[in-house]
A and B are shown apart, each in its own frame.
Chain A
């Protein structure tokens, strides 16, 4: 149980294009989803917290206009990197947690998306 699917796993695109990454909870309802960015050999850096039906909460220093997050249903959150540039190249990971109020529930992670901007 508690499977999170992230798609695509790898994307290469030209500078200036927008890229959408999907994160789905397959067998549970995820009121909250998280988006992380990870540089090689470093820890996960939280970008934003996504709550179903409301605006995402972005961490300090993360550009909300650059990284658009939509959490339209209890099983799907999307991250769109708008007008991507080479410095946006990174590994992006999503996670999902069970409904608010289920205290201490671990986050379940997707397999990540490797984004390369040429």
Chain B
């Protein structure tokens, strides 16, 4: 069974600084997808970034980028130029390529606080 681990329950960063959130996962599959979702205090789940395991190039979305290390089963999220609006719970999630229902397996989350 696949598992997703986020070892940092809470993190803090100063506004305009860069922060990296860690995520590791365990799977025996070769093809899969990885996601980072953000959940601000409003509790809405927002997709931040998506990575296909068969792509070597790391995904980027504006200030958000990932460091995908397939051999190490690591998928960290880097937030550059942190903004107050980035304050949220961040969840790493795994989706098996062969799954029929696009089911997600979530990590336990990292609560990020951006300080002014």
| Interface residues in chain A, defined as those with a beta carbon under 8 Å from any beta carbon in chain B | 32, 34, 38, 41-44, 46, 49, 51, 91, 93, 95, 97, 100, 102-109, 111-112
Q: How far is the CA of A104 from the CA of B47 in the complex (A)?
A: 13
> Nearest Cβ distance between residue B36 and chain A, in whole angstroms?
10
Contact with A along B31-60 (1 / 0, CB 8 A): 001010100001111110010100000000
Question: When the two chains form their complex, are residues A93 and B45 in contact, meaning their CB atoms are under 8 A apart?
Answer: yes
Question: When the two chains form their complex, are residues A49 and B111 in contact, meaning their CB atoms are under 8 A apart?
Answer: no
Which size bracket describes the interface of B in this complex? Answer: 20 to 34
Contact with A along B81-95 (1 / 0, CB 8 A): 000000001010001
Contact of B44 among A97, A100, A111 (CB under 8 A): A111
> Which B71-109 residues have C-beta < 8 A from chain A?
89, 91, 95, 97, 100-104, 106-109
Q: How far is the CA of A109 from the CA of B91 in the complex (A)?
A: 13
Question: When the two chains form their complex, are residues B43 and A91 in contact, meaning their CB atoms are under 8 A apart?
Answer: yes
Residues of chain B with a CB closer than 8 A to A51's CB: 101
Question: When the two chains form their complex, are residues A41 and B111 in contact, meaning their CB atoms are under 8 A apart?
Answer: yes
Contact of A104 among B42, B89, B97, B107 (CB under 8 A): B97
Q: How far is the CA of A104 from the CA of B89 in the complex (A)?
A: 23
